[in-house]
Amino acid sequence: MKSILFNRLTKLLTGIGRRMIERIWRLGAGARLFFLTIVYSGESFKRFHLTLREVYFTGVMSLLIIIVSAFFVGMVLGLQGYNTLQKYGSSEAIGVLVALSLVRELGPVVTALLFAGRAGTAITAEIGLMKTTEQLSAMEMMAVNPIARVVAPRFWAGVISMPVLAALFSMVGVLGGYIVAVPLIGVDDGAFWSQMQANVDVREDIINGVIKSVVFGVACTMIALFEGFDAPPTAEGVSHATTRTVVISSLTVLGLDFVLTSFMITV
Amino acid sequence: MTSNIVEIDNISFGYKGRLLHKNINMVFPRGKVVAIMGGSGSGKTTLLRLIGGQIKPTNGQVRVNGKVVHEQNRKGIYQLRRTMGMLFQHGALFTDLSVFDNVAFPMRELTDLPEPMIRDLVLMKLNAVGLRGAHQLMPTELSGGMARRVALARAVALDPNIIMYDEPFAGLDPISMGVICDLIRSLNDALGATSIIVSHDVKETFLIADYVYFVANGEVAAEGTPHDLMLSTLPFVHQFVHGEKDGPVPFHYPAENYQSELLKQSALMKI
Amino acid sequence: MDRTTIDLWVGVFVALGVAALLGLAMKVGNLTSSKIGDTYSVSAAFENIGGLKPNAPVKSAGVVVGRVADIRFDPKLYEAVVTIKIDERYEFPKDTFANIYTAGLLGEQYVGLEAGGEDEVLKNGDKITQTQDAVVLEKMISQFLYNKASETNSEDGTKDSKSGTQSSEKKSGGATSTELGDAPF
C-alpha cells in the first residue's frame, strides 16, 4: 500500500519535472528562433514587398474585427462609466475615464488578444501546414533560408501591425464612448473633450500605450511563429499548436501588461 | 575530379543512439540515374537529406563534387544546394503561390535575372513537363500527378547537376506514373544531370534506373543493374522485387506467441 | 491579389494608424495644450507642497499660463523649491502670490498665481517670495477633530484661546477648509 502511494508520488513528480524541462526547452528554442529572426531580418528587408504582403494579411485583414470590437468596447465603457460617475456628480469625467482606460490598457491589451486569435492562429496554422507539406524543407533544399523568407517578414509585419491596430482601437473606442456619452446621454460636448485633454498626457499615456503594443506585437507574433515552426508535422500537431498559440499569447500578453505597467507607473 | 558526382563514404546515422544506417557506401556517377530502394522506414529519404546537408552523419562523410557536405558552413551548403534539385514526395508546392510563381521561385530568390527572362524560362520549364497551359492555376487546383510535374519543373528550374527524387511514383495513377517515369529519364539526359531516385516501386524504377542500391536494416543489402537484380537469388531482393508477402521481411510485427497471449487475456477475464 | 493592390491597402492601413495616433495625440491627449512656446523660469519656496507633481499646470485666474518644471528639496532651509515655467506672453508683477491649490476636493494639485500691484515684473531666474502651502487634508481633519474635542471637553478660557489661534491658522488655508468645516462629521 505504502509503495503504491510512493510510486504514484514519484510518477507525479517526474511528470511535473518532465513538463517543466519541456517548457524550458521550448522557451530556449523560441529565444533561438527570435535571435535567428533578428539576424536574418536584413536579408528579408532587401525584399520588403514580402513584409508588406504579410502586413496586408495580418494587419489589414484584422481591421474589421478591431474596429467593430473597439466601437463596442468604447460604448460599453461610456455606459458603465456614466452609470457610476453620475452617482458622484462628475459625469463630465466620462471622457477621461473612457480615454485613459482605452489608451493605457484596453487598446493595447484587447488588440493583442484579438490579434492572437485572428492573425496569430493564421500564422501558426500556415507555417505548421507549410512544414507538414514539406514546403519549408523544399525551400531549404533550394538554398532559400525559411527564416529569412517565411519567418522574418511575418514577424516584422506583426510588429508593424500591432501598434497601428492598437492606435485605431483606442481612437475608435473613444469615438464609441463619445457617441454614447454626448448624443445619447447628453453629457456636455465641450466638457467631454476638455476634461479628456486636460488629463491624458501624450508622453505618459499615449506613447506608453504604443510602447506596450509594440512589445505585445513582438511577443504575439513570435509565439505564433514559434508554435507553427515547432508543430509536429501532423494534422493533430498543427491543431494543438494553434490552440497553444492563443493560450500562450493571451497569458503572455496579460503577464507582460502587468510588468510593463508596473515599470511605467513607478518611473 | 572524379567521375562520381556524389559519394557516400562509410556513413552511419542514427537518432539517440539507435543507428538507422550502418556503414553505407554508395557512389553516384555523373549522367546516370541511380535508384535507392528499400522498404518503408528503411531510411532512404534520410540518405537524401544527408546528401542535401539537412542533417549531419554520425560517422563517415558525404561528398558532393568532391566537397564534404557536413564540413561546409551554411554558405557552403547553400552553394552546394544551388547545384541540386529535389522533388519531394508530395511535391511540396508553395500553396500560396501560383504554378508560375512556384517555378519562378528559385529563379527570383537565387538569381538576378530580369522578369521577362524569368517568364520565358518558367514557360520553357513548364512546357517541358507539359503544363505550360496551367501556369495560372493555384496548386490546390491541380491533380496529384500535375502537382508532381510542376514540382519537377521547379526542381529543374536552375538546371541542377543533381536531381533527387523522393518517392516520385507514390500515390499516382498509372498514366501519371508513366509520364513522370518518362520525364525523369528525359530530363536527366537533356540536362546531363545525375538523378538519384528513392522509391519502392520496383517496376517503374527498374525501367529507368541505370544502377540500383537495395537498403535493408540500415545496410546496403544488394546492388547492381536492374537486370542483375531481377535475377538475384538473394532472399530479400527476391521477396522485394517480386512482391512476396512473406520472406526475410516478416509479415508479422514482432510479438509474443499468439496462443499464449490469447490465453493470458482469457485468464484475466475470469478474474 | 496583385502586388500593387496590396501596397495600396497597406498604405491605407498605415495611414489610418498614423491618423489614429495623431488623433489620439491632438484630440484625446494634451499635446496642443501642453505646448507652450517660449518660457521663463521662476522659482518659489514652499514649506509643504502636498501632492504637487512636475508638469502640473500653473494657472492664473483659472487660465493655464505655465507648467511646473522641477521640484527640489532645500536641505538647509528644509523647504521645497518649485521651479515653474511661465509662458513669455504673460508677465507678472514682482509681488505675485503663489499658492498651491487642489482642483476639487480630491483632484490634482496646481500652482495658482495671484498678481500683485508692483510695476516691476518677474524675470527669468527670479524668486517668488510670497507663497502659501498646500492644504493637507489629513492635517486639517485631525486639527478639526482636535478642536471639536477641546471645545466639548473644556469650558476653560485658557485652552479655548489656544484652539482659537489654531482655527485662525486653519481658516487661512483657503476656501476648501471652510467647506470642510461645514461638512457634518
Tell me the whole-structure pTM to 2 decimals.
0.75
Q: Over range B55-84, report the average pLDDT.
A: 85
Which residue stretches of chain C are H helix? 3-23, 31-34, 137-153, 157-171, 175-182
Give the tens place of pLDDT for each residue, C124-137: 888 888 888 877 77
pLDDT at B261 over 90: no
ipTM over 0.90: no
3-state secondary structure of B55: coil
Chain C residues whose CB is inside 8 A of the A164 CB are 13-14, 16-18, 20
The confidence score (pLDDT) of residue C170 equals 44
3-state secondary structure of A120: helix
Question: Radius of gyration of chain C from Cα atoms?
Answer: 24
Residue in chain B nearest A150 by alpha carbon: B94
Give the tens place of pLDDT for each residue, C64-114: 888 888 888 888 888 889 988 888 888 888 888 888 888 766 667 788 888
Q: Over range B159-173, report the average pLDDT.
A: 86
Single-letter amino acid, residue B146: M
| Partner-chain contact C17 A197, CB within 8 Å | no
Distance from A6 to chain C by nearest Cα, in Å? 60
Measuring CA to CA, how many Å separate A164 from each of A107, A159, B160? 11, 9, 45
**Judged by CB atoms within 8 Å, which residues 22-41 of C form the interface with A?**
23-25, 27-34
**B with A: 3 or more CB pairs under 8 Å?**
yes
Share of chain B above pLDDT 70, in %: 94
Q: Closest Cα to residue B199, out of B245, B148, B256?
A: B148
The confidence score (pLDDT) of residue C176 equals 44
C-alpha cell at B66: 568532391
The confidence score (pLDDT) of residue B111 equals 86
Chain A residues whose CB is inside 8 A of the C13 CB are 55-56, 59-60, 63, 161, 164
Query: Does A141 contact chain B (CB < 8 Å)?
Result: yes
Give the count of alpha carbons within 13 A of A170, CB side only.
Answer: 41
Distance from A9 to chain C by nearest Cα, in Å? 55
* pLDDT range class, residue A178, cuts 50, 70, 90: very high
Cα separation, C158 vs C144, in Å, equals 18
Chain B residues whose CB is inside 8 A of the A141 CB are 52, 54, 81, 84, 86
Q: Is the dihedral of CA B87, B88, B90, B93 positive or negative?
A: negative
Q: Closest Cα to residue C48, out of C175, C139, C143?
A: C139
- Mutation test of the interface with chain A: which of B46, B88, B150, B158, choosing the one with the most A Cβ atoms within 10 A? B88
* pLDDT range class, residue B134, cuts 50, 70, 90: confident
The confidence score (pLDDT) of residue A102 equals 93
Share of chain C above pLDDT 70, in %: 74
Taking each helix axis from N to C terminus, what angle separates A2-45 and A48-58, rounded to the nearest 10 degrees? 130
Give the count of alpha carbons within 13 A of B73, CB side only.
Answer: 1
| Partner-chain contact A197 C9, CB within 8 Å | no
* pLDDT range class, residue C142, cuts 50, 70, 90: confident
Long-range contacts of A205-209 (CB under 8 A, 24+ apart): A205/A100, A205/A103, A205/A104, A205/C29, A206/A103, A206/C21, A206/C24, A206/C25, A206/C28, A206/C29, A208/A104, A208/A264, A209/A103, A209/A104, A209/A107, A209/A108, A209/A166, A209/A167, A209/A170
Chain A residues whose CB is inside 8 A of the B106 CB are 142, 144
| Partner-chain contact A142 B109, CB within 8 Å | yes
Mean of pLDDT over chain A: 90
Please tell me which chains touch C, using 3 or more CB pairs under 8 Å as the contact test: A
Cα separation, C33 vs C12, in Å, equals 29
Q: Is the dihedral of CA C156, C158, C162, C164 positive or negative?
A: positive
| Partner-chain contact A167 C21, CB within 8 Å | yes
Closest CB to C29 among A60, A172, A202:
A202
| Partner-chain contact C9 A201, CB within 8 Å | no
Q: Scanning the structure block, which residue is given the C-alpha cell 515655467?
A: C85
| Partner-chain contact A138 B95, CB within 8 Å | no
Cα separation, B58 vs B46, in Å, equals 12
Q: Scanning the structure block, which residue is given the C-alpha cell 490546390?
A: B140
Give the count of alpha carbons within 13 A of C106, CB side only.
Answer: 3
Q: Closest Cα to residue C21, out of A63, A107, A65?
A: A107
The size of the A-B interface in CB pairs under 8 A is 48
Query: Does A61 contact chain B (CB < 8 Å)?
Result: no
- Mutation test of the interface with chain B: which of A133, A141, A238, choosing the one with the most B Cβ atoms within 10 A? A141
The confidence score (pLDDT) of residue B2 equals 59
* pLDDT range class, residue B20, cuts 50, 70, 90: confident
The confidence score (pLDDT) of residue C179 equals 43
pLDDT at C156 over 70: no
DSSP-assigned states of every residue in A168-217: HHHHHHHHHHHHIIIIII---HHHHHHHHHHH--IIIIIIHHHHHHHHHH
The size of the A-C interface in CB pairs under 8 A is 86
Q: Closest Cα to residue B170, out of B88, B86, B49?
A: B88
Domain C36-132: assigned CATH number:
2.40.30
Give the tens place of pLDDT for each residue, A124-159: 999 999 998 889 988 988 888 899 989 999 999 999
| Partner-chain contact B54 A133, CB within 8 Å | no
Measuring CA to CA, how many Å separate C139 from each of C105, C132, C177? 14, 16, 11
- Mutation test of the interface with chain A: which of C4, C28, C53, C64, choosing the one with the most A Cβ atoms within 10 A? C28
Cα separation, C146 vs C140, in Å, equals 10
Give the tens place of pLDDT for each residue, C12-36: 888 898 888 888 887 777 655 545 5
Which residue stretches of B55-137 are H helix? 74-81, 99-110, 115-128
B4-232: what CATH class? alpha beta
Cα separation, C84 vs A75, in Å, equals 39
Give the best-scoring range by mean pLDDT among A19-23, A66-70, B108-112, C9-13: A66-70
Contact predicate C86/C38, CB 8 Å: no
C-alpha cell at A14: 517526474
The confidence score (pLDDT) of residue C155 equals 56
Measuring CA to CA, how many Å separate B86 from each of A218, B158, B189? 35, 11, 17
**B with C: 3 or more CB pairs under 8 Å?**
no
Return the higher-pLDDT residue of C8 and C3. Answer: C8
Least reliable range by pLDDT among A26-30, A224-228, C123-127 = C123-127
Cα separation, B27 vs B9, in Å, equals 8
Cα separation, C19 vs A167, in Å, equals 9
* pLDDT range class, residue A257, cuts 50, 70, 90: very high
Least reliable range by pLDDT among A249-258, B135-144, B250-259, C172-181 = C172-181
The confidence score (pLDDT) of residue C158 equals 52
**Judged by CB atoms within 8 Å, which residues 89-128 of A form the interface with B?**
126
The confidence score (pLDDT) of residue B50 equals 87
Share of chain A above pLDDT 70, in %: 99
Contact predicate B132/B159, CB 8 Å: no
Any residues with CB less than 8 A from the CB of A96 and at least 6 apart, and which?
A195, A196, A198, A199, A200
Residue in chain A nearest C17 by alpha carbon: A164
| Partner-chain contact B95 A133, CB within 8 Å | yes
Query: Does A79 contact chain C (CB < 8 Å)?
Result: no
| Partner-chain contact A201 C29, CB within 8 Å | yes
The confidence score (pLDDT) of residue B271 equals 58
Domain boundaries, chain C: 3-32, 36-132, 137-182
| Partner-chain contact C3 A165, CB within 8 Å | no
Chain C residues whose CB is inside 8 A of the A198 CB are 30, 33
Domain boundaries, chain B: 4-232
pLDDT at C123 over 50: yes
Which residue stretches of B209-257 are H helix? 226-230, 235-242
Residue A89 CA, chain-centre distance (Å), reads: 37
Measuring CA to CA, how many Å separate C90 from each of B56, B150, C59? 77, 78, 11
* pLDDT range class, residue C178, cuts 50, 70, 90: very low
